[in-house]
């Protein structure tokens, strides 16, 4: 779970790119979920 500061300019494209970078770094699939996504699901 990740939390981003208000006004961080987070977009779906940036979230996907961040996930891809972490997958390359760790060598396995990464799912990034924001606190808001979890709380509203």
Report the pLDDT value the prediction gives residue 37, as an integer from 0 to 100: 82
Segment 1-41, tens digit of pLDDT = 778 888 888 888 998 999 999 999 999 999 888 888 888 98
pTM: 0.68
CA distances from 2 to 11, 22, 31, 38 (A): 14, 13, 10, 10
């Amino acid at each position: 779970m990740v939390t981003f500061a208000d006004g961080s300019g987070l977009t779906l494209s940036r979230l996907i790119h961040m996930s891809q970078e972490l997958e390359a770094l760790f060598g396995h699939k990464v799912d990034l979920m924001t606190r808001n996504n979890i709380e509203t699901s």
